[in-house]
């Protein structure tokens, strides 16, 4: 069953990315070297010329993971290393942007999540940007889900996905549009969400294994990211550590 469901999911993702990349000659992929973005990157490469972009401070997890990640022949990786001052300035600009465009006072967590993206977007030359956003909520990527009962897990994942669609996507789009980019969320398409909600729970989390079906997708694509653990962007990029020190 695991292999069959992974094949189904890959078919849906391929269809969605094909539609979202129609007419797009060059695309940017927000790339961490982890599971979610590696799958998106591989499928995007089937449809368009894709450049992988990663951001982090010197010695950060995401920079190291991206450089050692699934870089196929001909792949182009742009690794943007942010100095402490640049990370802090990006945080200032995120606060200003969200106040002016969204009318909100962002929390520390929101700033630490979106400051890396803000900094990175300054270096992205492509108009269309693809992200792996949504995979954690739909397929059980957060470690806290493992500690929940089956019932709690289902309701929590659904609630997190709905919150992401209601608020998180607006923030991603706000940052992208500030830099005149069009951002795409393949995992958050209606078809992928419907697939996720119909999936047997053990194909999301089994024991301590998370995103089981996505790891199988990565194995079918011969991606080494199938065995990797990821860190949330604010931690993997190293921005959280800098903002905490400031």
pLDDT given for residue 73 in this prediction: 61
Instruction: Collect all residues with Cβ–Cβ distance below 8 Å to 10 and sequence separation of at least 6.
Output: 43, 217, 220, 221
pTM recorded for the entire structure: 0.93
Q: Which pLDDT score is estimated for 224?
A: 80
The domain containing residue 230 runs over which residues? 2-245
Q: Kindly list the distances between the CA atom of residue 79 and the CA atoms of 8, 128, 129, 223, in Å, as whole numbers in the listed order.
A: 33, 18, 16, 20
Return d(Cα 202, Cα 218) in angstroms, integer.
17
pLDDT at position 70, please?
63
- The per-residue pLDDT for range 153-166, each reduced to its tens digit, is 999 999 999 999 99
Alpha-carbon gap, residue 68 to 71, rounded angstroms: 8
Q: Average per-residue pLDDT in the chain? A: 92
Residue 186 DSSP class = G
Greatest distance between any 2 Cα atoms in the chain: 50
Number of domains in the chain: 1
Mean pLDDT for 159-186 is 96
CATH number of the domain at 38, please: 3.40.50.620
Other Cβ atoms closer than 10 A to 224:
13
The string of pLDDT tens digits covering residues 45-82 is 999 999 999 999 988 888 887 876 666 666 789 999 99
């Amino acid at each position: 069953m695991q292999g069959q469901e992974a094949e189904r999911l890959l078919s849906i993702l391929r269809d969605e990315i094909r539609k979202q990349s129609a007419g797009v000659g060059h695309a940017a992929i927000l790339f961490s070297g982890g599971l979610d973005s590696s799958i998106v990157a591989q499928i995007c490469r089937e449809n368009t010329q894709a450049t992988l972009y990663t951001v982090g401070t010197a010695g950060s997890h995401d920079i190291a993971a991206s450089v050692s990640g699934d870089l196929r022949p001909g792949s182009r990786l742009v690794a943007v290393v942010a100095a402490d001052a640049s990370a802090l300035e990006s945080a200032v600009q995120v606060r200003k942007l969200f106040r002016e465009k969204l009318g909100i006072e962002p929390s520390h967590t929101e700033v630490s999540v979106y400051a890396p993206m803000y900094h990175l977007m300054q270096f992205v030359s492509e108009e269309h940007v693809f992200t792996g956003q949504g995979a954690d909520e739909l397929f059980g990527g957060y470690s806290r889900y493992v500690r929940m009962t089956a019932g709690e897990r289902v309701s929590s994942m659904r609630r997190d996905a709905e919150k992401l669609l209601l608020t998180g996507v607006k923030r991603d789009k706000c940052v992208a549009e500030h830099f005149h980019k069009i951002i795409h969320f393949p995992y958050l398409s209606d078809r992928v969400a419907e697939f996720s909600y119909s999936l047997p729970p053990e194909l999301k989390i089994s024991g301590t294994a998370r995103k089981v079906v996505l790891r199988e997708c990565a194995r079918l694509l011969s991606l080494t990211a199938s065995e990797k653990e990821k860190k949330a962007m604010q931690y993997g990029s190293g921005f959280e550590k800098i903002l905490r020190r400031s």
